[in-house]
Chain A
Amino acid sequence: MSEKKKIADGDNHSHDHAHSHLPSDPELRVKAVETLLLNKGLIDSKTLDELIDTYENRIGPKNGANVVAKAWVDPEYKKRLLIDATSAIRELSYQGRQGENMVVVENTPEIHNVIVCTLCSCYPWPVLGIPPTWYKSDEYRSRTVREPRKVLLEFGLSLDPKVQIKVWDSTAEIRYLVLPMRPKGTENMDESELAELVTRNSMIGTGLPKEIK
């Protein structure tokens, strides 16, 4: 047996966890810690506003939809995207935090890809923004690796048993984006019209792009 030096920090039971002193109302809890950090000058309220505004209004699934639409109309771009997604996505100026190492996985008539993070909530922020509640839920994290077909059925997606499902569990710092199949009957649509069809869930693998009526 190897000599292990120490136990994990969080397992040190000689003192109470600091968080046990927090109020029971989560809103008050945040307010207390936030005000303390602000008054100590360790965080700046303008930074908090800028961060929240960025992910509420600027960085979200529209970015990913633009990547997908470009790949649908531009075969050379698609080739670059599948070989080096990080660089190809950077061509559209989407990059950075939680998207430092991007991999794009392509859906085909034979393969359907689904993204999950069973250990936490890893998600490609520059192209999809902050993950939705269901993506971070225990239910999605626990079940998607064991019964992806039942999970997809709950999202309204029924896959032929002959289609192979590939589940990508984001266990490292690689972030995945699904390239869904271009819907039929969209041959005459341009890139920006196509981007409107690309749903967030279709880029996680729990949905398909919108059909045209």
Chain B
Amino acid sequence: MSRLHDMGGRFGDGSIPIPRDGKNEVTNIEPTFKYEWHSKAWAITLAAGALGEWNLDISRHYRECLPPKDYVNFSYYEKWLAALTNLLIDKELISLSELKEYVSAAENGTLKKFSDKNIKLDQRTWLAKDVQKTLGWGGPSVRDIDISPVFNIGDKVVTENYSPNKDIIGGHTRLPKYAMGRVGVIHSYNNNHVFPDKNAHDLGENPLPLYTVEFKSSEIWGELAENENDSIFLDLWEPYLKLFPH
């Protein structure tokens, strides 16, 4: 089973919303953020994330856990904002009554930002002077630990089926359903990475070998495959895979 965000291969989606110029040619030129509120939703998500109360996998999982009706109706940055709001409440950075107070102020036009001198910055707050340094460092997911990979390049493997997350019912996973129960070949081993299936649920980083696995498109889509030469590559953690035949 899976959730709505896991949409690879599904039917029903129409043409790609590709921007075109006056001559109807595909254009690469478009604003980074279409509306100011997009940039704000994005930036407050990054800035709140920097408080260190959750990790990247948790924030992804919160977006995935939006109720299906909301997931479908919300635009991209509305999903970000909704997931952020739920995280802020669950991690007790804001209270529901504070949220309701600010929401009704926003609706009544009485929302007021305090003057800077009346704001006391939390000691965790991400400061502008540290932005470039923090972005430049990023959040590496590779962990330097001594685990040898079980599989070798060229090994035939089959992916987990049904429910890859072994700890949590409906838990986060990065094995898409279109690639479940399929046979592929180990293309490369990419060191040991934090395991999202645990990290998204505060169960520790549990770094594990990460492989890039090649699947023939005909193995994934059967007779629907557009061209039997084509392949799909996925980055998969060791627990998603078993040696084939097993």
Q: Which residues of A contact B (CB under 8 A)?
A: 2, 4-11, 17-19, 21-23, 26-52, 54-56, 60-61, 95-101, 103, 116, 118-121, 129-130, 132-134, 136-143, 145-151, 154-156, 161-174, 199-201, 207
Contact = CB atoms under 8 A, between A and B. Distances in A.
Interface centre among A8, A134, A137 (most CB of B within 10 A): A8
Contacts of B244: none
Given A38-B113, A44-B126, A139-B13, A148 B86 contact: no
B5 A54 contact: no
A21 B140 contact: no
Contacts of B99: 18, 21-22, 32-33, 36
Interface of B: 5-10, 12-19, 25-26, 28, 30-35, 37, 39-44, 46-48, 51, 60-67, 70, 75-78, 81-86, 88-90, 93-94, 96, 98-100, 102-103, 105-107, 111-114, 119-122, 124-128, 131-132, 134-142, 166-172, 174-176, 178-179, 190, 193-194, 196, 201, 210, 212, 217, 220-221, 224, 226-227, 229-237
B169 A19 contact: no
B236 A172 contact: yes
Contacts of B113: 35, 38-39, 45
A149 B48 contact: no
B77 to A, nearest CB: 7
Contact of B30 (A46, A133, A149, A174): A133
A96 B135 contact: yes
B230 A95 contact: no
Given A8-B61, A47-B127, A207 B26 contact: yes
Contacts of A8: 61, 65, 168-172, 201
A19 B66 CA distance: 9
Given A98-B138, A133-B76, A164-B231, A51 B131 contact: yes
Given A42-B93, A97-B135, A139 B16 contact: yes
A54 B132 contact: yes
Nearest to A52: B39
A167 B230 contact: yes
B235 to A, nearest CB: 4
20 contacts: A9-B61, A18-B96, A19-B70, A23-B107, A26-B41, A29-B78, A31-B106, A32-B99, A40-B94, A41-B119, A97-B139, A120-B63, A130-B33, A134-B18, A137-B17, A141-B7, A151-B16, A165-B231, A167-B217, A168-B232
A10 B86 contact: yes
A174 B176 contact: no
What are the 7 A-B residue pairs with the smallest beta carbon separation, nearest first?
A: A10-B65, A118-B8, A172-B235, A19-B82, A46-B128, A96-B138, A32-B106
Nearest to B20: A156
A68 B28 CA distance: 17
Given A8-B172, A162-B229, A47 B47 contact: yes
A169 B232 contact: yes
B82 to A, nearest CB: 4
A6 B169 contact: yes
Given A7-B168, A18-B96, A169-B232, A48 B103 contact: no
A105 to B, nearest CB: 9
Given A30-B44, A95-B138, A145 B167 contact: no
A159 B106 CA distance: 51
A119 B5 contact: yes
Nearest to B82: A19
A78 B226 CA distance: 31
Contact of A51 (B47, B51, B70, B233): B47
